[in-house]
Structure 1
Amino acid sequence: MSDLHHVVPDRFPAHRFSHLLPSLDRHRVTTSDILTLDAVDLAKRAQVPVAELRKLHHAIVTALHADLGLASLEFAEPDATNQPDAWHATEWRTISTLDDRLDAELGGGVPAGYLTEITGESGAGKTQFLLTLLFSAQLPAPHGLSKSALYISTEAPLATTRLAQLLSQHPRLSNLPAATKPSLSRILSIQTPDLESQDHILRYQLPVAIQRHNVGLVVLDSVAANYRAEFDRAGGEKNRTDGGSHGHARRAGEAMAQRTQQLVQLGALLRSVARAHGVAVVVANQVSDRFSSSSSAPAPSSSSSNPTTTTTSRNPSHASASSQQAATTTSRAPTPTTTPPPRLALALSPDPLTLDHQQRWFTGWGDDVRASSSNSSTSSHNLKTPALGLVWANQIAARVALLKAPVYGRAAADWPGGGGGGGSVDARTGTGAGAGAGGGGDVSRWRRWMKVVFAPWAGPSEGRGVEYVIRGSGVVAVATAVAEEKQKEKERRAREASERAVELGGGGGGGGGDAGTEKAAEEARGGEEPLPDRQGGDGGGGGGGGDDIPAGDERGPRDNRRRSSDEPIGRE
């Protein structure tokens, strides 16, 4: 039961079961054993009363339910220490990404009171997401919490220049009044260069800073950096001093066990901070390449199971007759598809209980059936796995994966659609197929997606999720960016049309000028292509233009319809 204080909340009444815990510790009974195994068997094993063990089981289940917000703590005593958990009874509060489509994919945003992870490879935009959350946490509901933000960095310091750029260029932030506009002064930052300082800051300084500065968002960027540096360096030094293979395996096992224990403690600490203070804790995580054994399994070949081809190659005298017969058979009936025998198919299929098969549904890579079944070279060789393994995946409440894929071609593609200059793009996976006729295999740009892997408040994303781009104004979904570009283009056309109408109205008189004004107005209302010139539209002379179609001619509703270039313009 040594793990009881790391699994259950801090307010668990362990003193009520102090007479059971020593016996359970001696017989190595864990909290997981109490929750999963039969109480009678455990009572015989630990030599404790069955009724008392069942009371302990009920208390642990109640505490875990309260930790998830599913029930209140019935055994909690009404005192002042219970007040920080009052946020469980309040309304659902989230922090927005300042993009409606990204928020919809996240189920409303990043919720308060939970530990959320944002993972992705280098250059996917993890830090850009986190910087946006630092500002949106300061906004009032429903976009934020009206509180400050705390940024804990384990690698590079806080990018204040980028924050200033976001604040000045983001359309929602730059147009806010000064009273409600976020500021850099409400963003606290601290750097942790190693695990010792990180544990001290999170355990002692973080709760004080949350209460003193009214913090609503805690960001840790990134959670894996110090663990990788600490344990990789320690493992390398120990391997040099101990040259034996058995010693190397023993050292590696000890390091993994120590890291597992520290990860469990870190996850419990961050969850307790999020629950006790009602803050949103968001951590960034790195990824590593995944080398799956299933990808190297040989696929059954159709030629190896075709006895006709083998017989023909062994009998040269009947080659012509066999070829004619094969050609006739092929022309009359389709080629039969060969399937491997049931035993071979079972041997080639992945074991559903292995980690290689199951990790595709909680890592964020490999669960897209369409991408994995395509012929793209990047679909099966670009698999990633979030760092810190399965132990850390069990500590977080939600995981958001940021995916990216290259688009090949010499010329940069027109944003935000199309493929590159010379390379082709797979329509299903969105990745380049390599060097094209003139592409040369150069990466012209990158496509990025945000994908919800698992979250209790939102369902998993379909396919690759929501595609987004990174601008000077922040992270924007592609659909939102396209809508903004169309709106800007529409405003530009309307402005040019109004200027042209003023020029045409001032330069000509009579009917011709009116017709030119009408044409400019229709260009402003129309779609992407302007209408063809009408007779007398230029009407620049002294009222002589517009003889075929008078300026005062009324055409009715058909006048607003777009005409093709070969459609007659005269009266009907």
Structure 2
Amino acid sequence: MSQEMDWDQLDMNPRVIAAIRKANIKSMKEILNHSGADLQRLTQLSSMDVHYLLRAVSGVLRKNSVLTALQLFQDTDHRTSQRQKLSLGCPVLDNLLRGGIPLTGITEIAGESSAGKTQIGLQLCLSVQYPYKYGGLGSGAVYICTEDVFPNKRLQQLIEQQPRLRADVPHDVVQKIKFGNGIFVEHAADLDTFQDCVTKRIHVLLARGMVRLVIVDSIAALFRCEFGAKDSVLRAKYLQAFGAKLHSLSSKFRTPIICINQVTDTMDERGGAVQCSPGPTAKSIAPALGITWSNQLFMRLMTSRTSYLEEAIGGAPHHGRGVLRTLSVIFAPHLPQSLCYYTVNLEGVKGIKVETQT
């Protein structure tokens, strides 16, 4: 702000611009450091001209528009509303999370292989592109792959099924959204590449408003081969640094950060299994990366396959006899521990409403 200013970018009368240059004022900082009386004396402008000058300079420096106290109280502005959530594209799953994924903070989706973690991530990549009134954020998504090839074929299937899956959205709205163009895929197989991706490319996309969702699939893969058993302290420092950076991006741009994580077996001191998820599907597993990573999270969700069939809990006949999955809330400051059932089919991830659910 202290460097020489191009005054022509100010929306001001040329007479005022000429007076500023004649007074040898070279930066906005100089203007803000002077009182109104000093500016009148230096520029020979009227008090009204100085008033408009100060307002124009403030407008250039201010990045966000001002909100009134009434707007904040009513919580209606989508840029600041604490009630605004990112929909998962399914009313049952949204109901479990009281609206969807919070816009600020890191949300982890952990689970075993084939539990549906990536499917949920892909569905969020499409949901984020819908307008605010339909649970989206009206922008694109960044999907960072750390080990596997991006499932582009599956994404295309989901795009084709959007009119059927999102029956709550008018058909013309769905047709207008260019889903494939709104997803940016990045590959980061090591920590250095990941850091470069987050600090540079992702930051640029967020700053330009091209994306409002970041998905990392998976966060554990970045640390699996980089550190040995003796490097726990160094690994913890990296986890804290990456967590802080992701939190900073999320808070600055009000962007959900979704980290997909793997799970590991857990044992207590006696060698017995520890149940790490609530409900009848509890297993002796826990998300990878330990307590250091857990402390970086705002919300942790666990996905798992169950031994139940859809038909056994009253699933609709057209679902068929398939293995169910569960989505469990492990911890979140605004949610109780709870779970719901869901399936993954051609249309996408769909929750199953169960009357006897506890």
- TM normalised by structure 2 equals 0.69
Shift in Å, 1:193: 1.3
Change (3 A) 1:398 1:84: farther
Name 1:111's counterpart in structure 2: 102
Aligned pair count? 275
Structure 2 CA distance for aligned equivalents of residues 127 and 469 of structure 1? 13
Shift in Å, 1:417: 1.2
Name 2:159's counterpart in structure 1: 167
- TM normalised by structure 1 equals 0.45
Name 1:230's counterpart in structure 2: 226
Quick check: 1:286–1:386 contact (8 Å CA) kept in 2?
yes
Change (3 A) 1:216 1:292: same
Of the candidates 163, 171, 192, which is equivalent to residue 176 of structure 1? 171
Structure 2 CA distance for aligned equivalents of residues 84 and 115 of structure 1? 26
Structure 2 CA distance for aligned equivalents of residues 260 and 164 of structure 1? 38
Q: Which amino acid aligns with 1:202?
A: V
Question: What does residue range 6-155 of structure 1 map to in structure 2 within 5 Å?
Answer: 80=61, 83=64, 89-90=80-81, 92-142=83-133, 143-155=135-147
Name 2:346's counterpart in structure 1: 472
SS at match of 1:452: strand
Q: Which amino acid aligns with 2:136?
A: G
SS at match of 1:218: strand
Name 1:291's counterpart in structure 2: 267
SS at match of 1:185: helix
Structure 1 CA distance for aligned equivalents of residues 207 and 82 of structure 2? 21
Q: Which amino acid aligns with 1:285?
A: N
Quick check: 1:219–1:282 contact (8 Å CA) kept in 2?
yes
Q: In the alignment, is residue 271 of structure 1 matched against residue 247 of structure 2?
A: yes
Task: Tell which structure's C-alpha radius of gyration is larger.
Answer: 1
Name 1:388's counterpart in structure 2: 289
Quick check: 1:167–1:173 contact (8 Å CA) kept in 2?
no
1:322-347 superposed Cα distances (whole Å, 9 cap, x missing partner): xxxxxxxxxxxxxxxxxxxxxxxxxx
Q: In the alignment, is residue 459 of structure 1 matched against residue 353 of structure 2?
A: no
Question: What does residue range 152-551 of structure 1 map to in structure 2 within 5 Å?
Answer: 152-170=144-162, 171-173=164-166, 176-177=171-172, 180-231=176-227, 235=228, 252-253=229-230, 255-293=231-269, 296=272, 364-365=276-277, 367-368=278-279, 371=280, 382-406=283-307, 416-418=310-312, 446-461=323-338, 465-479=339-353
Structure 2 CA distance for aligned equivalents of residues 290 and 262 of structure 1? 23
Q: Which amino acid aligns with 1:176?
A: H
Shift in Å, 1:258: 0.5
Structure 2 CA distance for aligned equivalents of residues 221 and 200 of structure 1? 16
Q: Which amino acid aligns with 1:265?
A: A
| RMSD, matched Cα | 2.9
Shift in Å, 1:230: 1.6
Which has the larger displacement, 285-294 or 130-139? 285-294
SS at match of 1:230: coil
Quick check: 1:93–1:145 contact (8 Å CA) kept in 2?
no
SS at match of 2:297: coil
Change (3 A) 1:85 1:270: farther
Structure 2 CA distance for aligned equivalents of residues 80 and 156 of structure 1? 43
Structure 2 CA distance for aligned equivalents of residues 387 and 474 of structure 1? 26
Shift in Å, 1:158: 2.0
Name 2:40's counterpart in structure 1: none
1:346-398 superposed Cα distances (whole Å, 9 cap, x missing partner): xxxxxxxxxx7xxx6xxx52x44xx4xxxxxx86xx31110000000000100
Structure 2 CA distance for aligned equivalents of residues 109 and 149 of structure 1? 16
Shift in Å, 1:209: 1.7
Structure 1 CA distance for aligned equivalents of residues 154 and 216 of structure 2? 18
Q: Which amino acid aligns with 2:340?
A: V
Quick check: 1:118–1:126 contact (8 Å CA) kept in 2?
yes
Structure 2 CA distance for aligned equivalents of residues 112 and 208 of structure 1? 19
Shift in Å, 1:81: 7.4
Change (3 A) 1:296 1:290: closer
Structure 2 CA distance for aligned equivalents of residues 217 and 166 of structure 1? 18
Higher strand share: 2
Quick check: 2:92–2:352 contact (8 Å CA) kept in 1?
no
Shift in Å, 1:131: 0.3
Structure 1 CA distance for aligned equivalents of residues 165 and 341 of structure 2? 20
Quick check: 1:85–1:277 contact (8 Å CA) kept in 2?
no
Q: Which amino acid aligns with 1:284?
A: I
Structure 2 CA distance for aligned equivalents of residues 209 and 134 of structure 1? 15
Question: Unpaired runs of 5+ in structure 2?
Answer: 1-58, 68-77, 314-320
